[in-house]
Each structure stands twice: as structure tokens, then as C-alpha cells.
């Protein structure tokens, strides 16, 4: 499968990694939308949040643990936002589940 995030997870495309274990990878976004902007992905391909089910939701729970751990490590105590875009209307451009974490600026709500 020609999936850019599967290639990043496999180390075939370089990324600036923050955290990695057997299940997940966290790395900085190539086009940051905030002073801190990183992505957390499952290493195993999941197309989007629409494909989360009872068989893989444990990975999503683990991702949120990892995000909290990184937030403490990066001193994001003033707050941050976790976003997953789904499909065309959601603005998803890479078809591999990923959670954006944006921080270190005041973020608008609602998003555009
Ligand atoms: P989406 O638009 O699907 O929610 O988010 C995809 C994100 O992946 C975008 O923020 C984009 O900047 C980022 N991205 C796309 N290709 C690469 C890449 O090769 N390396 C990194 N680090 N980020 C990427
Ligand atoms: Zn993939």
C-alpha cells in the first residue's frame, strides 16, 4: 500500500520523532500550524477514525496516554488541542489515522 504514514512508521521516510514504541509513533508535523504541532499515529494502518472499532480501539486509548505523556514532557500545561480530521469534509489529506496535537498559541474555537 502506498501510504506515506506507513512509510514514516517503517522508517522509510524520515521524520523528527518525539516518541516511539511497538504500537505508536509521535513525530513533528512537516507544516506546523502552531509553535508545537506533532502527530501521533498507530504503526499499523488504520484509514481514519471511521475505522475505529472494538479490535483496534485499544491503540487509540494508548495514543491518548502517549499524548498526555508528551504534553507533560513538553510543558504543555497551558493547554493543547487534539484533532483528528476524517474524510473530505473533515479536511483529511493523509489516509492513515493520525491525531494532531497543537499547542503554544491560543487556538480559535470553533475551527474554520
Ligand atoms: P490531515 O490533513 O490529513 O489532517 O493531516 C496530515 C498532516 O500530515 C498535515 O498536517 C501535513 O502537514 C502532515 N504531513 C504530510 N506529509 C508529511 C510528511 O511527509 N512528514 C510529516 N512530518 N508530516 C507530513
Ligand atoms: Zn498507512
Q: pLDDT per residue over 56-85, tens digit each?
A: 999 999 999 999 999 999 999 999 999 999
Contact 12, 24 (CB under 8 A): no
Of 16, 37, 39, best ligand 1 pocket probe by most atoms within 8 Å of the beta carbon: 39
Nearest in space to 39 (alpha carbons), one of 30, 49, 27, 24: 27
Task: Place 112 in a pLDDT band, splitting at 50, 70 and 90.
Answer: confident
CA distances from 8 to 1, 28, 55, 69, 72 (A): 13, 12, 23, 21, 24
98 is catalytic: yes
Does pTM surpass 0.85?
A: yes
Q: How far is the CA of 93 from the centre of ligand 1 (A)?
A: 8
DSSP 8-state code for residue 56: T
pLDDT at 52 over 80: yes
Whole-number Å distance between alpha carbons of 9 and 33: 22
Amino acid at each position: 500500500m502506498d501510504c506515506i504514514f506507513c512509510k514514516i512508521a517503517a522508517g522509510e521516510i524520515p521524520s523528527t520523532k518525539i516518541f516511539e514504541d511497538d504500537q505508536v509513533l509521535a513525530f513533528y508535523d512537516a507544516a506546523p500550524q502552531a509553535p508545537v504541532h506533532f502527530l501521533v499515529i498507530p504503526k499499523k494502518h488504520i484509514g481514519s477514525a471511521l475505522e475505529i472499532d472494538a479490535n483496534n480501539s485499544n491503540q487509540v486509548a494508548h495514543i491518548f496516554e502517549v499524548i498526555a505523556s508528551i504534553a507533560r514532557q513538553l510543558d504543555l500545561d497551558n493547554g493543547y488541542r487534539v484533532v483528528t480530521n476524517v474524510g473530505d469534509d473533515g479536511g483529511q489529506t493523509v489516509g492513515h489515522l493520525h491525531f494532531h496535537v497543537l499547542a503554544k498559541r491560543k487556538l480559535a474555537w470553533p475551527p474554520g
